[in-house]
Structure 1
Amino acid sequence: MPATPNLPTPDFTFDADQPGACIAGVRPYRNGSYRLDAETISSKFFVHNYGHGGAGITLSWGCASKVRDIVRSHLVGSPDTKVAVLGAGVMGLTAATLLADLGLTVTIYSDRPPLQTTSSKAGGQWAVSVVEFAGKRQELTDIIKFAYTTFKASIGQGFGVSERPNYSATPSHNLDVVIQLAPGLIKPRQSLPREPFEGHTKPGFVYQTLLIEPPIFLAKLEADLRARGITFVNKRFVDKSDIIASVPETIVVNCTGLGSMMLMSDPKMVPIKGQLAMLPPQPALQYLYGQDGYLFPRADHVVIGGTFEVGVNNETPDKSVCQDLVRHIASQFGKAAAKPLPDIHIHNPDHAPIVNPQIPEV
C-alpha cells in the first residue's frame, strides 16, 4: 500500500515583536450552561443570550434563532416594534440580523465595534468548544443544527466560511459531541494510520468541519446590518439599573458575554483567557490541525492558539506564551525542539467542568 503523501508544512517563522503578532481574548464561560432565557425587569422584557465559552461563533446563528423565537412569542401580546441588542460581538450581530427579519427596528448598543470584540479574537473552527449544556441537550441539538446549516449555506456568499478537514492526534471532544447530538450533521471521524504531515509517525484522526474567519464574518454581518438601517450606538453600561434607565427600548436582548458577570450580577460566569500567535498567511495550507493547541490557516493569518487560563480576566498578550505556542506546534512537524508545555497550554483536554478560583460556585 503506497504511503500517504504529506500535506504542505507550515512556515513557522514568527516575530512576537511585530504589531498584532500576539493577541489575547477572554472566553465568556458559564458554569453549568450558557444562559438563553427571558425575564421581565422593571417593565423591560430582557432576553439573555450569553455564556457560550469558546463556542460563540459556532452556536451564533442557532442561538440567534432561539432569541428570535422568544421575541416573536412576546410580540403576540405586545405593541412593541423596537428592540435593543446589547453587545456587538457575534451573538449580538446574528441576533440583530434575525430580529430585523421580523420587521423590528433594531438598535445595537456596545462599547466596542465588532472587530474589537472578543469574537474577533477567536480561532474560527466550527466546534462546540468550552461550553456546557446540562439539562439542555435537545436545545443544544437544535442550536447546532440551525447554526451549521446556516453557516454551510453561506459558503461563497462573502461570510468567510469554508469546509476544512481537521487533523488531530487524539479524538476531539468538541467535534465528537456534535456527532453524538446530531448524527449525520458532520461526517464521523476517520482513523488514520498516520497523520499526513512531515515529522508525524503516529496514528491520528480526521474530521470534516467548517472554518469561519472572524474578521470576514463580523465585517460582513456589520456591513449588512448597516445597509439595512440598523443603528450602532457606542455605549458602556455600568450595571443593570443603568441599562433600564438609559435604554429607551422595552425589549432588550442581552448579548454582552463576559460583561454579564457584572451587568447581570451572574456569579456563574468564569473568564478564561486565551492567547493567539498570528503568523503571516499561507494560502497553500488548507487544513486545520490540533495537538495540545491548534493551527488554523486563514486568509489573514495562520492562527496558532489553544491556551487556557481559568479566572484570568485581561486581554494583555504574553509574547513568551505566543512563542511557546508556535514552538510547540512546530515541534510536531519536526521544525523545533520539543519542550514541555506549561499547564496554560492544555486546552481542557478532559472537558471537565470549570470552577473559577475567584468566583464562588453556586
Structure 2
Amino acid sequence: MATPNLPTPDFAFDPNQPGACIAGVRPYRNGSYRLDAETISQSFIVHNYGHGGAGITLSFGCAAKVRDIVRDHLAASRGVTEAAVLGAGVMGLTAATLLLDLGLKVTVYSDRAPLETTSAKAGGQWAVSVVEFAGKERELTDIIKSAYRAFKDRIGQGFGVFERPNYTATRAHNLDIVLQLAPGLIPPRQPLQRLPFAHHTKPGFVYQTLLIEPPVLLARLKADLDQRGVSFVSKRFVNRSDILAGVPQPIVVNCTGLGSMTLWSDTKMMPIKGQLALLRPQPELQYLYGQNGYLFPRSDHVVIGGTFEPGVNDETPDKAVCQGLVDHIASLFGKAPAKPLPDIHIHNPVHAPIVNPAIPEV
C-alpha cells in the first residue's frame, strides 16, 4: 500500500515584501560553550553563552545549571538578595526565570528587547545544532534532558511549543546527538522507504522532536517576568570594566552571546550568519522538513532556512539568497525548476570545529 502524501506547501514568496527575509548571527564558540563562574572584584560572574544554533534548544537546561551555580554561591554568602542578567535573548530570559526560584530580586540589562534579539530570528526546531561540547558530554546530557522536559511541560501552555515529526532526506546529526547522549529521551529515528511528499521517491528518515516558536516563547517569558516583578533596563555595555562599574548587583549572569566576544574578550567566539525566508502561515502543515536546508511551518510563518556564513557579523538579509532557499525547497516538491543551491550552504553537519575565515590559519 502506497504511503499517502502529506500536504505540499505553498511556496509563493516575494523577497521584496517587508519582513520576508531576515538574518541573524549565531553566537558560535569554538571548543565548547561557556557555562562557569568567576569572581571579579566584588562581583560573582556566571557565564552562560556560546551555544551556536542551539540556544533555544538548551536554554532551560543551561538556566537550571546557572540556578544551581548561584544557589551554591548563596549558600556560602550572606545577605545577597539581588542578581543581574545581561542579555534579553532566550538564555537571559530563562536564566532570569529560574533565578526567581531562589528568591532573588532580578534585573535584566540589555540593549535589545527580547523580540529584537538573535533568539527571535531562530527557526525553532529542538535540536543540538552548531554547538561544540568536547569534554562536556556528561554536562550536555544533563542540559539536554532538563531542557527537553521543560519544553515538554510547556506544550499547550502558551509558550509556542508543539510536538512535530521531522522528515529528513539524510540522517540529522543534530538529532542523532540527542539519541546518542540521551537514549530514550526522544523516540528513535525511523527509516522510510520514501519521504511522504509529492515528487519524493527516495528513502529518508523521520524523527520525533519539538517545534518551538521563538516569537511566542520570548513574548511569554518576558510577560511572565514582568508579572513577577523583574526589571528590564535598556543599557549598552562596551567592555568588562563598563559592566563591573555599571551593574550594582553582586551576582551577574552573563548571557550576552556573541557580545561576549567583545565584552569579555573571548577569542573563541565567532559569528555565523544565518538567513531565513518567511512564507505565509499554513496551519495545515504539521511537520518539519529537511534536505540541504529546512522548512519549519509555524503559526506566524512557514520558515525556510539553513544558510551558514562563518565569520560574518552582519544582520542584513540578502534577498537573492532567501529566494534561492525557497526555490531549492520548492524544487524538491516539484513546485520550481531544480537549481543549484545558494553558495551559502547548510550548516556544518558533524560538529567539527569551524574555522573563522576572518582569522588566517597558522
Q: Which residue of 2 aligns with 1:175?
A: 175
Partner of 1:40: 39
8 A contact 2:174–2:349 mirrored in 1: no
1:132 aligns with 2:132: yes
Following superposition, which runs of at least 4 residues in structure 1 exceed 3 angstroms of deviation?
Answer: 359-362
Q: 2-side partners of 1:330 and 1:342: how far apart?
A: 14
Pairs within 5 Å for 1:92-103: 92-103=92-103
| 1:230 matched residue in structure 2 | 230
Alpha-carbon contact 1:267-1:361 (below 8 Å) kept = no
Question: What does 1:212-361 correspond to in 2, within 5 Å?
Answer: 212-359=212-359
Contact 1:270 1:359 in 2 (8 A): no
Among all aligned residue pairs of Structure 1 and Structure 2, give the percentage whose two residues are the same amino acid.
Answer: 80
For residue 223 of structure 1, give the secondary structure of its aligned residue in structure 2.
Answer: helix
Which residues of structure 1 form unaligned runs of 5+?
A: none
Amino acid at match of 2:80: D
Partner of 1:66: 65
Deviation, 1:140, is 0.1
Q: 1:3 is matched by which residue type in structure 2?
A: A
Q: Output the aligned Cα RMSD.
A: 1.0
- Give 1:88-237 correspondences, 5 Å limit: 88-237=88-237
Q: Are the counterparts in 2 of residues 325 and 345 from structure 1 also a CA contact under 8 Å?
A: no
> What amino acid is aligned across from residue 132 of structure 2 in structure 1?
E
Tell me, in whole angstroms, the C-alpha distance in 1 between the residues paired with 2:162 and 2:208.
11
1 CA distance for matches of 2:113 and 2:136? Answer: 31
Provide the rounded CA distance (Å) in 2 between the counterparts of 1:233 and 1:77: 28
| Mapped contact 2:321–2:342 kept (Cα < 8 A) | no
Shift of 1:358: 2.1
Shift of 1:42: 1.7
Decide whether the 8 Å contact of 1:267 with 1:359 is kept in 2.
Answer: no
Superposed displacement of residue 101, structure 1? 1.2
Distance 1:51 1:347 in 2: 16
What CA distance in whole angstroms lies between the structure 1 residues aligned with 2:293 and 2:283?
21
> Which runs of no fewer than 5 residues in structure 2 stay unpaired?
none
CA–CA separation in structure 1 for the residues paired with 2:361 and 2:84: 31
Q: Deviations over 1:57-78 (max 9, x none)?
A: 0000000000000000000121
How far apart, CA to CA, are the structure 1 residues paired with 2:262 and 2:101? 31
Alpha-carbon distance, 1:348 to partner: 1.5
**Paired residues of 2:31 and 2:132 also in contact (CA < 8 A):** yes
The one-letter amino acid paired with 2:237 is F
2:271–2:310 CA contact under 8 A, matched in 1: yes
Q: Which amino acid aligns with 2:20?
A: A
Distance (Å, rounded) in 1 between the aligned partners of 2:355 and 2:30 = 7
User: Within 5 Å, which residues of 2 pair with 1:67-86?
Assistant: 67-78=66-77, 79-86=79-86
In structure 2, distance between residues paired with 1:331 and 1:347: 20
Give the secondary-structure state (helix, strand or coil) at the position aligned to 1:101: helix
In the aligned structure 2, how far is the partner of 1:3 from the partner of 1:354? 42
Name the structure 1 match of 2:5. 6
Letter in 2 for 1:335: K
